[in-house]
Amino acid sequence: MQEEHGPAPTIWPLGFAVGIAVALVGLIVDPQWVASAGAIIAIVFGYLWARDATSEMRRQAPVVQAEVREMTPAEAAAIPPAAEGEAAMARPEPGERFPRSRFLEASTLGLGGLIGGVITVPVAGFALLPSFLDQKSYRVDMGPVSAFPLGKWFIATFMVDPKEGETSRRTAFVRNNGFVAQGSKQVPSFTVISNRCAHLGCPVQANGPTGAILGEKNEIEHTKNGEILLRPVLPAGFGCPCHGGQYDTEGNRTAGPPVRALDRYQFDIVNGHLVLLSTYSVSHVVGTGAQAKIYKYKLAGPGEHVDGPEQWFYPLNPPHHY
Amino acid sequence: MAIRRAPSKAQVRREQMLAAVNYPLDWLEERSGLVGGVRYFLFRKVPSDTNWMQTLGSATLTAFIVQALTGVILAMYYKPSPHDAYASIQNITDHVTMGWLVRGMHKWGASVFIILLFLHMGRVFLFGAYKYPRELNWIVGVLLLVLGLTEGFTGYLLPWDQTAYWASVVGINLNGTAPFLGPWLAQFLRGGQEISGDTLSRFYSLHMLIIPGGIIALITLHLYLVIRLGVTSPPWSKEAAGREVVEEPAPVRTGLTRPAPHGGGRD
């Protein structure tokens, strides 16, 4: 007969598993209601399971009577009288600790920990700091606004930091939307879409003819940021070669695995030149061109949801002005 | 009375040779106990019905040693900067003597290492060798698997060609989609918001210093536990696990040449 080691079978793990399954299915069919219902089931059953499994541990410890023994007169007589000096000292109990050894242990551990901390903290900070840095700010001079005729798309290739070389090469899809009224002024409007796929960061391509097929020549602008290559293109949309994500010409996802629209570049017009600044993320765009209403977010990594319930899995990224 | 014959010249030479070999070993043993330790490791008892499948762990270790050695040699020629990395890889392949061989061993050996890891893991699973008291060794093994896969991931970027670059972009961003900590993990791997030269040197450091250090430490623990807990018998073993085998006298063959000692046999 084998001894029983484990606890008696219970129904709690089963309910817990059902809850997890419902939550996972719910994430696909209805993240708001079914998934949260599954999560609640899992939490309730998980709690009951944990309570059941630990019931033995939390049971009150049995009270054990201390053992008492009377001393016989012979034993009492055998106790040596207190003498002076060493003999008067109590014999150390087996395993007894003395203040000095306790102090030495504490100081060894304390000093060791301190030295370890003094070395580890700056090193770990040095290694982990990049995880918490924001994107570097760039100013990329793209050449005069006149290089971008109204309504035409260009595939612009440039280095955000020529000193850093090829690793800083970026591609953006640029279109001049003309002027848009802002208060009493007329300000230029550009659509500048980053080619970094919102799925996993592959380079998105323009779906449409370029160069000779289009019957137009590539242009090269020489600016402070070195050579800016402008290739005219007539895109029906944008597509990613890696996993098939598709976007319309405003960068809205139309098919495939991307979780949001394509990122965009902030821009500025300085001395008649188009200057690209940092990138930001976009959940979706309503309308087109100069009239587009862009739902902006702080730059998020590819594959990170910026809206919907899924955004709760990522650092809080509230939308800012449209 | 036996006659003591003087030892022959050959015998004397053999004894001198033995003394010459033993002297340094004895010296080492007296001061470190290492000889006894190695002897304990090599001549420890294993179940009599162990199987060829149980050599997969040693094969994995061998694959790791090949990776470590070829990696050290490659590091002598490889330059982890975005300007030089690809050129130095080409130099290793085309110009360094036998460079193509060492790089090839490292490249294909990486796949061999991962395949052997999984075969070894499968053997341990199918033999039930992860059960009490070897659970901790299974856990250490899983950590080794994770570190081995991380080696594959970080090593893939180092040739710094288009495949390496974009595969790593996708791989890093894949890490970034993990809930909660993903974005920070991706930034840690990238060394910032965007892939740059820092990413390459970071991956190089992870690939050849941090992760191999962890793997070596965990392999040491893994082997210590194997030696401490012993090798598992195969599941079909007739010997009960953990039972000391009692030496029984060999069954005596009865027959024409030798009579049975207890009077049995075929008379």
Residue B242 lies in a domain: no
Residue pair A195/A186 in contact (Cβ under 8 Å)? The answer is no
Residue A101 lies in a domain: no
Say yes or no: A39 contacts chain B, CB-CB below 8 A: no
Residue B127 φ/ψ region, left for φ over 0, alpha for ψ in the -120 to 50 degree band, beta for the rest: alpha
Mean per-residue pLDDT, A13-24? 94
Residue B221 lies in a domain: yes
How far A33 CA lies from chain B's nearest CA (Å)?
20
Q: pLDDT at position B212, please?
A: 97
Residue B205 lies in a domain: yes
Residues 6+ apart with CB under 8 A from A279: A135, A194, A196, A263, A264, A265, A266, A299
pLDDT in tens, B51-82: 899 999 999 999 999 999 999 999 999 999 99
Q: Quick one: A44 and A147 in the same domain?
A: no
Residue A148 lies in a domain: yes
CB atoms within 10 A of CB B68: 14
A-chain residues near B196 (CB < 8 A): 164, 167-168
Query: Residue A201 and residue B170: Cα distance in Å, rounded?
Result: 6
B-chain residues near A167 (CB < 8 A): 82, 195-197
Give backbone dihedrals phi and psi of B212, rounded to 5 degrees, phi first. -60, -35
Q: pLDDT at position B264, please?
A: 46
Say yes or no: A128 contacts chain B, CB-CB below 8 A: yes
Q: Quick one: A177 and A304 in the same domain?
A: yes
How far A212 CA lies from chain B's nearest CA (Å)?
26
Mutation pick from A27, A306, A314, A317 vs chain B, by most beta carbons of B within 10 Å, is A314
pLDDT over 90 (residue B5): no
Residue B135 sits in a domain of what CATH number?
1.20.810.10
Measuring CA to CA, how many Å separate A158 from each of A166, A306, B179, B209, B234?
Answer: 9, 27, 33, 35, 63
For A109, the token pair is 């551990």
Residue A286 sits in a domain of what CATH number?
2.102.10.10
pTM (predicted TM-score): 0.76
Residue B122 lies in a domain: yes
Say yes or no: A6 contacts chain B, CB-CB below 8 A: no
Residue pair A229/A159 in contact (Cβ under 8 Å)? The answer is no
Residue A226 lies in a domain: yes
A-chain residues near B177 (CB < 8 A): 200, 301-304
Q: Which of B166, B176, B192 has the CB atom closest to A202's CB atom?
A: B166
Q: Quick one: A23 and A153 in the same domain?
A: no
Domain containing A48: what range? 12-53
Total count of domains within chain A: 2
pLDDT-wise least confident of A86-90, A93-97, A291-295, B158-162: A86-90
Total count of domains within chain B: 1
Residue A107 lies in a domain: no
Q: pLDDT at position B265, please?
A: 44
pLDDT over 80 (residue A5): no
Say yes or no: A301 contacts chain B, CB-CB below 8 A: yes
For A239, the token pair is 């597509």
Residue B208 lies in a domain: yes
Measuring CA to CA, how many Å separate B206 from each of B189, B215, B245, B264?
Answer: 9, 12, 47, 72
> Which of A125-139, A284-298, B244-258 has maximum average pLDDT?
A284-298
Q: Quick one: A147 and A274 in the same domain?
A: yes
Domain containing B146: what range? 52-229
Residue B235 lies in a domain: no
Q: pLDDT at position A207, please?
A: 95
Say yes or no: A133 contacts chain B, CB-CB below 8 A: yes
Say yes or no: A130 contacts chain B, CB-CB below 8 A: yes
Instruction: Decide which of A322 and B162 is more confident.
Output: B162
Residue pair B109/B73 in contact (Cβ under 8 Å)? The answer is no
Residue pair B82/A169 in contact (Cβ under 8 Å)? The answer is no
Residue B262 lies in a domain: no
Q: Determine, for residues A135 and B193 on separate chains, whether the beta-carbon distance falls below 8 Å.
A: yes
Residue pair A154/A148 in contact (Cβ under 8 Å)? The answer is yes
Q: Quick one: A178 and A48 in the same domain?
A: no
Q: Is A200 exposed, middle or buried (0-12, 13-18, 19+ CB in 10 A)?
A: buried
Mutation pick from B173, B204, B211 vs chain A, by most beta carbons of A within 10 Å, is B173
A-chain residues near B173 (CB < 8 A): 200-201, 301-303
Q: Is A1 exposed, middle or buried (0-12, 13-18, 19+ CB in 10 A)?
A: exposed
Q: Quick one: A159 and A41 in the same domain?
A: no
Query: Residue B92 and residue B75: Cα distance in Å, rounded?
Result: 10
A-chain residues near B192 (CB < 8 A): 130, 133, 135-136
Q: Quick one: A42 and A178 in the same domain?
A: no
Q: Quick one: A30 and A172 in the same domain?
A: no
Q: pLDDT at position A1, please?
A: 45
Q: Determine, for residues B177 and A299 on separate chains, whether the beta-carbon distance falls below 8 Å.
A: no
What would the DSSP string read from start to end of B99-160? HHHHHHHHHHHHHHHHHHHHHHHHHHHHTTTTSTT-HHHHHHHHHHHHHHHHHHHHHHHTT-
Cis before A99 (ω within 30) = no
Q: Quick one: A22 and A157 in the same domain?
A: no
Residue A45 lies in a domain: yes
Instruction: Decide which of B146 and A187 is more confident.
Output: B146
ipTM of the complex: 0.76
Residue B4 lies in a domain: no
